[in-house]
Structure 1
């Protein structure tokens, strides 16, 4: 049984698109082969910045012969009906059979469909796949009509058996399939022929191309952690960045560089985020101090000076980026030490939602609600209100404007710089949490009060203006907020009534923005609570004895299910 090898060689494919492209290539080709009557043993797709590769093992050499029976009109039907049936089957009347049916005797066509060679089927399936490939963005080039993510240079398509390799005949907009590929753009650019997947993978590695994306990621992580360990340091783990960087290089060469002394006092989160977002660098941390002291970059080629020139250039760019971060940090600290009033004023001009006022209005609602929640969770009401008033002020800071993912984290630093209590600073960092099923849940009373206030205000407010999640759409992250409330209650063993919290949110703040009555709003929000969670099953999975204190939610879910 032959093995199939496909390589689509192009200009650089964006790293973020490679995983989806691999799966699309594998699924579309194998589904097409199976629909055409072929079977296969195993299929796996690979990608580098310049190629998509699919290896299919144990492909059947041809599709089976088939016999199809198609029932036609009655034998005494009008001649026109019989003529139409004959046209649809491509047969003549003498090849039809008359058979007894429950409605009388009818004509039956027996159509023989001979099997087809695998090469012909592969050519059809691959052309359809290429012409209809689901790239998020694609382009045309030259005078052709073909669209691809970047200009497609060549197609390699081989069927390999013990007798040898056969090129599948295929021509798409002048790109003729062959048995030739290329290695690394700079270190081994000359084309070479291959005879199958194993031969291709081995010869590509000799030509400085590591075909397997998982192997590239493992190699990067191994070399980076070894280089850090040799200096008594550790690489900050970031699986998303590792996957992205593995999609940027065909031959990973790990290099470690130093961060300028002038930037080492920046918060670790700032250094890490700046290097990741702008340069795709890994952060290297001193485990004794927790400071980010070095960086790891991954080059795409070996050089005679062992990467010295690359590191020198990257260091210059990094210094420019970190100079911006240091400038933002200095300006933000000055505002924080002055009491953050400039940010508070700025947020009065930032719209939270057109029907719910400004960001400053939302902060005011949060503060009022946090004060009411505080006694229920064992927090000091004054501290809870104070924390809620400053928790979101960092949204107006220059650093968060540049790096939105640092919201909350920077709030902790600014609150500390303003001389606020440690409980307040911690609540600034944690009030957005939990952000997902694996995220940490705040347990400090002040942080719990502010986190609950944030989520309850969001849920109550958007339900009040009838902006609820619909299907897969949830632009205001209300499902996440609802699940966050549940996890906060369960993790901290809180004995609170969500009905009372919703009523409090409505009566203390939301009533300014909605005319809906408290009882009506509370009933609808609790009854619709299943819509604010990902699935009813997620709540079903919680043991009933664990949620006796949120029976209101459970009753709403039961009603929704009925």
Structure 2
């Protein structure tokens, strides 16, 4: 079985495209080979700035011969139909067979497709892959028609077996495949021939190219951390930057430089962001002071002066960049000291947040008012929360955030501290944006929590009010993230609040002329807050990762018609809802829970069928005096005991106690069904027993809507 090696050699491929391109090459080629009948043992793809490589092991040398039997027309069919069948099968009349098929004899043809050599199939598949490669952006050059991300210069394509290497005959847009490649642009020794993947990989290293991007990244990180450790420092970890830099070089040479003393007073995050964004430098931190004092750059060439000239050039450019950052920083500080942080944010009145939701200043006013309402619910001082809300977005008007938008919030914290504001206000400037995703940190300071909740609830309410809800995979305003943020803030801090009330309060501050009326929709026969439903959907996704099933949440959300008034807690209190769902989930994992669910289902089915058949509702109260057996009387007693325990437990939010009381019904219900026939011939006894089943249903539904549970 031969091995296949493909290299597509070009000018520099952008680092951000390399990983995806390597995966696409592997997928397109291997899928094409398999579809043509060539299976293989394994495949691996690699990328460097100038090449995409695919190595396939254990490829079939030839596709298998295929025999296909085709059913044709009847023997007595018109001649024209028979001739058409012959043309399609590529056969002559004497090659057809006649067989009985039901009530008639029909023609059958056996079509044999001989196998094809691997080289022919590879050439066909690779030609199609190259001509239809899914680059995000591509270009055409010269007189050819081929589009590639950068000019394609050569194609290496060989099949290797025990007899040696065979060049796959292929030519694409004037580029003929061969068995040669070349190494590093400056340190390589020219083109070289290869006979296998192992030979190719070894010769690349001899010519100063590390093929595997993971190996390049590992080499960069190891050398950078070693150099930092030798100087008593540490490299600030940044996996994204590491992957990007590994895609910029074929032979990484790690160099460490110093940052001029004049810039060491800048916030560490400013230094780190400036060096990363502008020059792809790693930041090197002094663990004793927390300051960024040095940088690591990765060159693509070894020099006689061990990189001194490269470092000197980089440091010169870095000083110019950091001079700009220092200018922004000092200007912003002067603004804060002269007009305060609120003064810095005054220009937000002329910055549009959304044409239907007003300016950023309008939004800040809405957040402030809402945050005041939330403050008592999270244990924060309303005036402090209001102050934090007023200044939380001020840094959007700073020069530093104008240059580096990713520093929004963080710079607000620095400027608030410089303005002498309360530490919790400064923290809220940064933390009110959080959490930004399922793994991001959740604020826990009450002021930050209040402003963060107000920010996200205003966002959700505002875009819902103007009918800009997410559709399918589209979510341009990140409303799913905002909803998850509300969930994590509430649950992470144990906040007790009614989201409906806060949503109504937030909606009142949105201009009426832009409201679409989409916040509330008619669902299931009663008003259902569609925004709350959206949050519930995100809650189900969030809790699924914690082992709580979606149907358990549905059972706790349902306002069952059989539940006593007020027994089902408000579905807009997420902390209470989750507490209830956790108790139900734990209950269902027990034997009592599982068996009680089956008993409830049996009772509910019998009752529902009887009510449908008789056209009445059996809810007029069962009487123990009509009980005919000990099991029946025991169930009456058990229901009285459970009801007496469940109602106060639900009222006091002791859901574990309510579940325990419901679990005690398992044995009496099982015994009742084993001993009693509900639909007896005695109509009085039958009605009494159906009313008894109604009590079972009502009491269980007062804890959770068990009809919503799967199974």
CA RMSD of aligned residues (A): 2.4
Match of 1:6 in 2: 6
Q: CA, structure 1 residues 33+462, in 2 after alignment: closer, same or farther (shift >3 Å)?
A: same
Q: Measure the CA separation in 2 of the matches of 1:419 and 1:509.
A: 33
Moved more, 221-230 or 514-523: 514-523
Report if the CA contact (8 A) 1:391-1:411 is conserved. Answer: yes
1:526 deviation in Å? 1.3
Q: Measure the CA separation in 1 of the matches of 2:303 and 2:199.
A: 27
Moved more, 539-548 or 519-528: 539-548
Match of 1:539 in 2: 543
Match of 1:482 in 2: 483
3-state SS of 1:87 partner: helix
The answer to whether structure 1 residue 132 and structure 2 residue 138 are counterparts is: no
Matches within 5 A, 1:335-346: 335-337=335-337, 338-346=339-347
Match of 1:293 in 2: 293
3-state SS of 2:68 partner: strand
Structure of greater Rg: 2
Match of 2:255 in 1: 255
Q: Measure the CA separation in 2 of the matches of 1:431 and 1:30.
A: 48
Q: Measure the CA separation in 2 of the matches of 1:287 and 1:29.
A: 49
Q: Measure the CA separation in 2 of the matches of 1:46 and 1:561.
A: 48
Q: CA, structure 1 residues 366+561, in 2 after alignment: closer, same or farther (shift >3 Å)?
A: farther
Report if the CA contact (8 A) 2:498-2:573 is conserved. Answer: no
The answer to whether structure 1 residue 167 and structure 2 residue 167 are counterparts is: yes
1:488-516 CA-to-partner distances (Å, cap 9, x unmatched) read 11111112222222122123456575373
Match of 1:551 in 2: 571
1:168-197 CA-to-partner distances (Å, cap 9, x unmatched) read 110111111100000100011400001110
Q: CA, structure 1 residues 518+96, in 2 after alignment: closer, same or farther (shift >3 Å)?
A: closer
Q: Measure the CA separation in 2 of the matches of 1:466 and 1:65.
A: 59
3-state SS of 1:362 partner: helix
1:284 deviation in Å? 0.2
Report if the CA contact (8 A) 2:345-2:395 is conserved. Answer: no
1:197-222 CA-to-partner distances (Å, cap 9, x unmatched) read 00111110010000110000000000
Report if the CA contact (8 A) 1:433-1:484 is conserved. Answer: yes
Instruction: Detail structure 1 runs of 4+ shifted over 6 Å in the superposition.
Output: 544-550, 553-562
Match of 1:31 in 2: 31
Q: Measure the CA separation in 2 of the matches of 1:541 and 1:130.
A: 41
Aligned length: 560
Q: Measure the CA separation in 1 of the matches of 2:139 and 2:189.
A: 25
1:552 deviation in Å? 3.3
Match of 1:82 in 2: 82
Q: Measure the CA separation in 2 of the matches of 1:517 and 1:176.
A: 61
Match of 1:317 in 2: 317
Q: CA, structure 1 residues 186+461, in 2 after alignment: closer, same or farther (shift >3 Å)?
A: same
Match of 1:470 in 2: 471
Q: CA, structure 1 residues 394+157, in 2 after alignment: closer, same or farther (shift >3 Å)?
A: same
Relative to the length of structure 1, the TM-score reads: 0.95
Q: CA, structure 1 residues 84+536, in 2 after alignment: closer, same or farther (shift >3 Å)?
A: farther
Relative to the length of structure 2, the TM-score reads: 0.76
1:5-26 CA-to-partner distances (Å, cap 9, x unmatched) read 0000000000000010010001
1:417-443 CA-to-partner distances (Å, cap 9, x unmatched) read 111111000000101101111110000
Match of 1:105 in 2: 105
1:527 deviation in Å? 2.3
Q: CA, structure 1 residues 175+506, in 2 after alignment: closer, same or farther (shift >3 Å)?
A: same
Matches within 5 A, 1:352-501: 352-501=353-502
Report if the CA contact (8 A) 1:460-1:510 is conserved. Answer: no
Report if the CA contact (8 A) 1:179-1:194 is conserved. Answer: yes
Structure 2 stretches of 5 or more lacking a match?
Answer: 522-526, 558-568, 582-704
Match of 1:529 in 2: 535
Q: Measure the CA separation in 2 of the matches of 1:386 and 1:324.
A: 31
Q: Measure the CA separation in 2 of the matches of 1:165 and 1:540.
A: 53
Q: CA, structure 1 residues 541+211, in 2 after alignment: closer, same or farther (shift >3 Å)?
A: closer
1:65 deviation in Å? 0.7
Q: CA, structure 1 residues 103+432, in 2 after alignment: closer, same or farther (shift >3 Å)?
A: farther
Higher relative contact order (CA closer than 8 Å, sequence separation 6+): 1
